Structure formats: structure tokens, C-alpha cells
Amino acid sequence: MNTPHDTDKSSERLNKFLARQLGISRREADVLIENETVTINNTLATLGARITPSDSIDVAGAPVSHKPAALRYIALNKPVGYVCSRRAQGSTPTIYSLLPPEFHALKPVGRLDKDSSGLLLLTNDGDFAYRMTHPKFAKTKQYRVRLDRDLEPLHQQMISDFGIDLDDGRSQLILTRLDDNRREWHITMSEGRNRQIRRTFTALGYTVTRLHRTNFGNYALSDINRGEWREVNIS
């Protein structure tokens, strides 16, 4: 195994270095190494390799700077009508049009679809993003949801107590009423499957007309105005 500098106290694991400098998780860094896209001093790197500041590191032929990357974390109140991608989809703008250029290298921690709004975290800290999104950490998310019609008590019980079978597994949500007409709900969940809330209600014949995320793990939207952002301290 290619593990230079094993006894050098100034050395560090290659995957840790790549995660920090590229804003990816260590697991994603390991994938880059396994796919033979990373070199150390023009030699293919292998899993477990260690490096020092004097080593030349390239990924897909592009050099990776040793200059310390400042880790940034921001919370954005995403409006409806924006996509969480770097490229606009037709006439639909991206969330990056709401951010100053200095934040355009940050990546969303999870996503909100075009028709959803609320708290969106962005960072260049891959390990933080991994801890926030991997199912084994079960980070709680909270939403305000509006339906096109009143939710029947039986359907409320089905969703909360038994779960609804979807193509990718059972979906179980914690529902709390916010309005007497049974259309406004507070939803708590610890999963994050693609459009899970919308698909859960669709399976029972409802349409979600508003989906707004207020909390993600320890982070809350609080008083951030729609379309605005704020730097946050991680906890």
C-alpha cells in the first residue's frame, strides 16, 4: 500500500486532506482514490496513503493547493422557484444567484426541490455535510406543510403510526396540527429521501401545496428573511 511518511509527524491521511481542500467527505475522497484519479508526486495514490506539505497532489490532473481552506457554513432561507444546482434549469434560477460570489463554491447540505422553501445549509466542509445527511446520524428535520384539502384522521394515523409504503421503503412522519381545518401541519422526520413528504401524501391522494423547512438538526431558520442568508457556527 502506498503510505509514504508513516513516521513523519507532519504527515496526514490523503483522504482527510482531500476532504478539507475540496469540500467533500472522506468517503468521497476515498472514491476518488479508488478510481485512480489522485496522484502523489505523479504516482497513483492508494487508500491509506499519507502526505506531507511538500508533496504534490493532483486530482484528475489538476493540482490541489496545500493552502489551508477556510471552512464556511451558511444558512439560506430558500424561496420557492429556485433549484439547488449550479446551472439554471431553463428559466428557473439557481440558489447561487441569491449568494455573493465568495459562496459559489459551497455545496448544499441535502436539497430542497424547486417548489419547496426554507432552511438550506451550504458548506465546503465535506465531513460536516456527511454527518448532517447520512442516515446513520438520523438528523431531525422539521417542516410546515399545507395540503390541498383536510387530512382525514385515518390517514393521519396511517402516516404517524404505521407509515406509508413507497417505492423506496416505508415512510413514517410525525404530524402535529397547526390549523383547525386540518390542512396545515408541522412535520418532523429523520430521513431525507427524495421528495419523501410529497410522495407520502400523494400516495394517499393529497397534494402538498406548500412545503417549508424550518429546522435541520441543531440549526433553525429563525429570523432569516426569504432569499437571505447568514453565516452560522457549527455545533
Q: What count of Cα atoms within 13 Å lies in the side-chain half-sphere of residue 183?
A: 10
Instruction: Find out whether 27 and 34 touch, Cβ atoms under 8 Å.
Output: no
CB atoms within 10 A of CB 90: 6
Residue 183: DSSP 8-state: -
Closest C-alpha to 155, from 192, 147, 188: 147
User: pLDDT tens digits for the chain (235 residues)?
Assistant: 444 455 566 789 999 899 888 877 788 899 999 999 999 999 999 999 999 999 999 999 989 988 877 889 999 999 999 999 877 778 899 999 999 988 888 999 988 999 999 999 999 888 899 899 988 888 999 999 999 999 999 999 999 999 999 998 999 999 999 878 899 999 999 887 889 999 999 999 999 999 999 999 999 999 999 999 999 988 7
CA 211 – CA 198 distance, rounded (Å): 8
Q: Is 113 considered catalytic here?
A: yes
User: pTM of the full predicted structure?
Assistant: 0.76
Distances (CA, A) of 163 to 137, 170, 172: 21, 6, 4
Which one of the listed residues 30, 113, 148, 179 is annotated catalytic?
113
CATH match of 12-63 with 3.10.20.30? no
CA 218 – CA 68 distance, rounded (Å): 27
Do 12-63 and 70-230 show the same overall fold? no
CA 12 – CA 14 distance, rounded (Å): 6
Q: Break the chain into its structural domains and give their ranges.
A: 12-63, 70-230
CATH topology of domain 70-230: Pseudouridine synthase (3.30.2350)
Report which secondary-structure segment, H or E, holds 27. Answer: helix 26-34
